[in-house]
Amino acid sequence: MAGEIIKTQGIVLSIHPWSQTSHVVTWLTPDHGPVTTLVKGAVRTKSAFLGQYDLFYRCDLLYYARASGDLHALREVTPRNLRAHLRGDWRATALAGYAADLVRELAPPGDESSAWFDFLDAYLEPAPDEEPLSRLIRLEMDLLGLAGLSPDFSGLDPAAPWTPFALDRGRCGSGERTVRISPRTVAALRRPDAPDVRAEEKKDAARFLGVFLSYHIERPPDIRRSLVSLIQE
């Protein structure tokens, strides 16, 4: 791969300044996983890159794969989906940013990321009928599934008011660190948008996922708590 010109698609996960005129852009690609490129002269007045990429865009890419290091040189970019709806929906934009952050951290390299690309591409599309907290729960449950980290509820006792869940083992039962989970919370985790799921059950599901994520991928809990508060305003 090193020294080649790579042609692929990419979804913009993050953009950071490199200098006064250049950017570092991280993309999710379906065949190479997360890829970081240097975009030289990105914000110069006559740059060919002006307006061609922004957060969450899906684009066609050409980049030069460097022999050493992880920062490749972007040669060409053509936008294919600008996600214009996100510019007018701040809750959807907040969820999109959180989704991009999770994907950047969890997505594997190489063509194993194809399913991640397809999921994120679909998730970033409009979902006007999906309540924001349901959308967050679905995002986290689906990404945990892609990462092979889905919580295992097969040991849940449907007749009991709650069942112990061992965070260290990722399943119902005893363990070094356990939390309580109820059948209704599990139902909300599996189908947060189901008509019989009550608001408090959905909040319990979101709290469980926050604890589960903090334990298994060591994400700072404050960021997620702020997001949950924001999307419920």
Residue 143 burial (10 A CB sphere; 0-12, 13-18, 19+): buried
User: Domain end: 63, 83, 103, which one?
Assistant: 83
Q: Are residues 139 and 61 in the same domain?
A: no
Q: Are residues 76 and 140 in the same domain?
A: no
User: Domain end: 58, 83, 108, which one?
Assistant: 83
Give the global pTM: 0.93
CA 84 to centroid of chain Cα atoms: 19
Q: 23-29 and 163-166: which strand pairing?
A: unpaired
Q: Is position 88 within any domain?
A: no
Per-residue confidence of the chain (233 residues) as pLDDT tens digits? 556 899 999 999 999 999 999 999 999 999 999 999 999 999 998 999 999 999 999 999 999 988 766 899 999 999 999 999 999 999 999 999 999 999 999 999 888 899 999 999 999 999 888 999 999 999 999 999 999 999 999 999 999 999 999 999 999 999 999 999 999 999 999 999 999 999 999 999 999 999 999 999 877 788 899 999 999 98
Q: How many domains does the chain have?
A: 2
Rounded Cα distance between 99 and 40, Å, is: 27
Q: Are residues 70 and 134 in the same domain?
A: no
Q: Is position 156 within any domain?
A: yes
Q: Could you tell me the residue range of the domain that residue 23 belongs to?
A: 5-83
Cα dihedral: 34, 40, 46, 48 (round 10): -40
**Position 175: which residue type?**
G
Q: Is position 94 within any domain?
A: no
C-beta of residue 76 within 8 angstroms of C-beta of residue 65: no
Residue 55 in tokens: 């957060």
Q: What is the CATH number of the domain that holds 66?
A: 2.40.50.140
